[in-house]
């Protein structure tokens, strides 16, 4: 048996969102795809850890954390350029506000990922496969 640790949520159906990310051609793996138009698709079954850090997992944070984690994963796997981290952080804030998060909390969330999440896009932090 093989598995990965560190996930709390699993997507029940595909999720799509238009972004301004333009990769060099289409990028796709088993979990996430982004095409040349910026359409990001997160596939059914995608697992993510939800909101990270000293925070609460609320409905206003879930969609933002999904999209943010998917974009960070693409950066970490070197499928898109690292400069998209800044865009992912802003998009997280904007989605959270759109979903009803208080603007002060969204400001805090944005600054937390902007200033303290550089490690999360580093290829060294790809989750390892554990075999039993």
- Rounded Cα–Cα distance for residues 40 and 91 (Å): 12
Nearest Cα to 81, choosing from 18, 21, 25?
Answer: 21
- Rounded Cα–Cα distance for residues 60 and 50 (Å): 11
Is 27's pLDDT higher than 90? yes
Does some domain include residue 49? yes
- The predicted structure's pLDDT at residue 124: 93
Does some domain include residue 130? no
**Residues 61, 36: contact at Cβ < 8 Å?**
no
The total number of structural domains in the chain stands at 1
Does some domain include residue 17? yes
Give Cβ neighbours of residue 8 (< 8 Å, ≥ 6 apart).
Answer: 48, 49, 50, 57
Does some domain include residue 61? yes
Given pLDDT bands bounded at 50, 70 and 90, which one contains residue 117?
Answer: very high
Is 53's pLDDT higher than 90? no
Quote the percentage of the chain above a pLDDT of 90: 83
- The predicted structure's pLDDT at residue 122: 96
pTM score above 0.85: yes
Is 54's pLDDT higher than 90? no
Sequence length of the chain is 132
Given pLDDT bands bounded at 50, 70 and 90, which one contains residue 125?
Answer: confident
**Section 57-78 average pLDDT:** 97
SS3 content of the chain, % helix, strand, coil (to 5): 40, 15, 45
- The predicted structure's pLDDT at residue 52: 86
- Rounded Cα–Cα distance for residues 23 and 2 (Å): 31
Does some domain include residue 127? no
Is 4's pLDDT higher than 90? no
- Rounded Cα–Cα distance for residues 102 and 114 (Å): 18
Given pLDDT bands bounded at 50, 70 and 90, which one contains residue 73?
Answer: very high
**Residues 42, 28: contact at Cβ < 8 Å?**
no
Structural domain for 108, as ranges? 7-121
**Residues 109, 60: contact at Cβ < 8 Å?**
no
- The predicted structure's pLDDT at residue 114: 98
Does some domain include residue 129? no
């Amino acid at each position: 048996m093989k598995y990965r640790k560190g996930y709390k949520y699993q997507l029940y159906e595909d999720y799509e969102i238009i972004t301004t990310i333009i990769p060099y051609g289409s990028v796709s793996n088993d979990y996430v795809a982004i095409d040349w138009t910026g359409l990001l698709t997160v596939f059914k079954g995608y697992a993510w850890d939800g909101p990270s850090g000293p925070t609460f997992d609320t409905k206003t944070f879930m969609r933002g954390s999904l999209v943010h984690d998917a974009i960070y994963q693409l950066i970490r796997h070197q499928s898109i350029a690292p400069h998209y981290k800044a865009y992912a952080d802003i998009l997280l804030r904007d989605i959270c506000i759109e979903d009803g998060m208080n603007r002060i909390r969204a400001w805090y969330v944005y600054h937390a990922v902007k200033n303290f999440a550089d490690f999360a896009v580093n290829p060294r932090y790809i989750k390892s496969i554990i075999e039993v």
